[in-house]
Amino acid sequence: MAPVVNGNIDRIILTGGIAYSKKITVVLADRVKFIAPVEVWPGSIEQEALGLGILRVLRGQEEAHTYSIN
């Protein structure tokens, strides 16, 4: 996805249940750390995070982003 946002990436976050695996996160981080700093946030609250993000957009607190792959 880096080309889609013209390389403007602040951070790469590895999350979810798979982020509990040190073996997997180390391999993934090694492969993408040249793009942006990598953070690992183990857990499985993705649905809550997505819902809160949508709520912020609906309340006008945040602007929705549109990504194009044209």
Residue-wise pLDDT for 14-59, tens only, equals 988 889 999 999 999 999 999 999 999 888 777 888 889 999 999 9
Residue 66, in any domain of the structure: no
Domain that holds residue 21: 2-58
Token pair in block for residue 57: 């957009």
Number of domains in the chain: 1
Say yes or no to pLDDT of 9 above 80.
yes
Question: What is the DSSP code (8-state) at residue 13?
Answer: E
Higher-confidence position of 10 and 65: 10
Q: Give the type of residue at 27.
A: V
Residue 51, in any domain of the structure: yes
Residue 28, in any domain of the structure: yes
Residue 27, in any domain of the structure: yes
Does this model's pTM top 0.75? My answer is: no
Higher-confidence position of 11 and 66: 11
